[in-house]
Amino acid sequence: MSQDLKTLKQEYLEYIEIERGRALKTVENYDRYIRRFFVFSGAKVIPDITEEKIRKYRLELNRAGLNRRTQNYYLIALRQFLKYLVKRGFKVIPPDTIELAKETQRDLSLISSVELERLLHAPKGDEIKVLRDRAVLELLFSTGLRVSELCALSRYLDWSRDEISVRGKGGKVRPVFISPGAKSAIKKYLDKRGDTDDALFIYLGRGAKRAETESGSMRLSTRSIERLVKQYAIKAGIDKRVTPHTLRHSFATDLLHNGADLRSVQALLGHASIATTQIYTHVTDKHLHDIHKQFHGKDRK
């Protein structure tokens, strides 16, 4: 069997796309991550992948100013590639010897319930663009969708139902549930649409023609949704950074504050691991302060 790493990398990328059902964007990212190691290390064949070269590569990633989460993306891709080679019967260094960088706990971008209400009510008027923007905000909070998942939605789903299916990371399908407010906002928006584009959320005005010319669709991009949310946060007088992911955080913390269990929230968010969902637990532990105040030190005078 050929030990040429360029060939094996291409076979691995085809494997994760076809056999593992990874999204094209994921495949592109893995290609970039693994290629960076090859370029840095000069590795051409399997024996060129050594523990010493991986150690120096980790130093390179750290000194390049990448945060630890991003460093781990590169290391995980390399580790998964080595696991694939083991599966193929090649002799390589043990993949699990590649330790990941220890990540600091992520700070959640949260807004208060009052700020959330101001944000959801910031789009005012009956123009189609305003109706679209209101539907975007309502749907983000109602479902906890990732912005990429939101952008991929079709207008021709049955928006009169309380539930739709969404294909998320890794091609996994999960149910998401639509609140009455989100359903109403989507209906008002779609009733004003005069086009036949498949996308639920589209560019309007001059941007629509440019988008259709460039891509064949008027579908809004993730970047446009991010700008939209930012603009309405400013309009709502929220003096902190607000993104579509902020509404995803609000969705999760709202569920937990109201008694949902962590496993259910994990399923609704589409997290592959419960460890990812656990970033929200400290947000919902405010009741511990009340317990401490109520029960601690009662016998002291």
Active-site amino acid positions = 146, 169, 245, 248, 271, 280
Find where tokens 């994760």 sit.
Answer: 16
For residue 64, which phi and psi values (nearest 5 degrees)? -75, -5
E strands, the chain, in order: 163-167, 173-177
Q: Buried b vs exposed e over 185-194: b needs ≥16 C-beta within 10 Å?
A: bbebbbeeee
Find where tokens 């419960």 sit.
Answer: 274
E strands, 84-223, in order: 163-167, 173-177
By C-alpha distance, which of 248, 250, 137 is closest to 201?
Answer: 137
22 token code pair: 């990874």
Q: Are 204 and 222 in contact, with CB atoms under 8 Å apart?
A: no
Based on DSSP, count helices (H) and strands (E) in the chain, helices before strands.
14, 2
Q: Are 136 and 201 in contact, with CB atoms under 8 Å apart?
A: yes
Partnered with residue 163 across adjacent β-strands are 177
Cα separation, 250 vs 261, whole angstroms: 15
